[in-house]
């Protein structure tokens, strides 16, 4: 029984590890260049999946980007040159954390604007609900209500 538990625990732990999509034929022979390629791949967005890095994505375009990164590194480009090349080619959307700039204001500040608008709408609705109070009954309405209650009895009365 202990062995079964240990095997189940091992299976769960292995399933929790990230599943990298880098295939052996993509890897560079130089471990230092491969490490740089893997580090860069963590900062680049899969343009198909959009919420995964190219290192985690199995999409064909992500594979092409991984190969392109490795080709540029093997050609002698620095990490900054590789990133600049990809941004020039695909735009800053290719970066998982795009820099703050006039083109990315919506990405950085959009959620706060939407949150602020939601809070303002809730405040406005609450303000208008307080204004919509019920006016007191007029003297004629009170007499009419009293006549109805007298004719049919009070709501708490059990006389029928």
Exposure letters 112-141 (e unless 16+ CB within 10 A, then b):
eeeeeeeeeeeeeeeeeeeeeeeeeeeeee
Domain ranges of the chain: 2-94, 104-133
Domain 2-94 listed as CATH 3.40.50.2300: no
Q: Determine what percent of the chain is predicted with pLDDT higher than 90.
A: 20
DSSP 20-76: ----GGGS-SSHHHHHHHHHHHTTBB-TTTSSSBTTT---HHHHHHHHHHHHHHHTT
Q: Give the CA-trace dihedral at 48, 53, 55, 58, to 10 degrees.
A: -30
Q: What are 145's two structure tokens? A: 């209500």
pTM: 0.53
Structure tokens at 19: 């599943």
Q: What are phi and psi of 44, to 5 degrees?
A: -105, 135
Predicted pLDDT at 139: 93
- Residue 88's pLDDT is 92
**Quick one: pLDDT band at residue 122, thresholds 50, 70, 90?**
very high
pLDDT (mean) for 141-145? 91
pLDDT top residue among 44 and 100 = 44
What does the pLDDT look like over 59-110, one tens digit per residue?
888 888 988 998 998 898 999 999 999 999 988 888 888 778 777 788 778 8
What pLDDT score was predicted for residue 19?
A: 47
Structure tokens at 28: 């560079």
């Amino acid at each position: 029984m202990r062995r079964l538990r240990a095997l189940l625990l091992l299976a769960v732990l292995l399933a929790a590890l990230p599943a990298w999509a880098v295939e052996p034929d993509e890897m560079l022979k130089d471990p230092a260049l491969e490490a740089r390629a893997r580090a860069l791949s963590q900062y680049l967005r899969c343009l198909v999946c959009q919420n995964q890095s190219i290192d985690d994505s199995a999409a064909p375009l992500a594979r092409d980007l991984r190969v392109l990164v490795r080709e540029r590194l093997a050609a002698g480009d620095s990490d900054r040159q590789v990133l600049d090349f990809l941004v020039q080619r695909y735009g800053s959307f290719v970066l998982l954390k795009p820099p703050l700039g006039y083109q990315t204001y919506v990405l950085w500040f959009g959620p706060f604007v939407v949150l602020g608008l939601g809070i303002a709408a809730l405040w406005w609705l609450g303000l208008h609900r307080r204004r919509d109070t019920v006016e007191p009954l007029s003297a004629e309405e009170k007499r009419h209500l009293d006549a109805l209650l007298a004719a049919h009895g009070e709501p708490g009365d059990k006389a029928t």
